[in-house]
Amino acid sequence: MTLMNGLQNVQKLSLNADTLEVLSLCCESMPVFNNLKFLGVTSQEGRGWQAMPALLRNCPHLETIALFFCLSLRLRQ
């Protein structure tokens, strides 16, 4: 969590599915992002979303959240 502690003063933050999965393992020690105004999240179905409630609780001044979902389409043959 040293990296996340170093990022706690940013105003804009973008996270991907891999980062969300790591965060979901350490939700209890997530820092508070007091200056965060924009959060962008790119993920896939079932990957990393467990961290979102704790992350959002620790962003008291968040104004904008952008969610991007990567869908995998499987074609029948």
Query: Between 76 and 59, whose confidence is greater?
Result: 59
| DSSP H helical ranges for 1-77 | 2-6, 17-24, 52-57
Give Dmax (Cα) for the chain: 51
- Asked whether residue 76 is domain-assigned, the answer is no
Contacts of 2 (CB under 8 A, 6+ apart): none
- Asked whether residue 77 is domain-assigned, the answer is no
Query: Between 25 and 76, whose confidence is greater?
Result: 25
DSSP assignment, residue 8?
T
Contacts of 55 (CB under 8 A, 6+ apart): 23, 27, 30, 39
Lookup: tokens for 18: 């891999």
Tens digit of pLDDT for each residue in 22-63? 887 776 677 899 999 999 998 877 777 888 888 899 999 999
User: Global pTM?
Assistant: 0.78
- Asked whether residue 15 is domain-assigned, the answer is yes
How many separate domains does the chain show? 1
Q: What is the structure's pLDDT at 18?
A: 87
**28 is in which domain, residue-wise?**
2-70
Q: What is the structure's pLDDT at 11?
A: 96
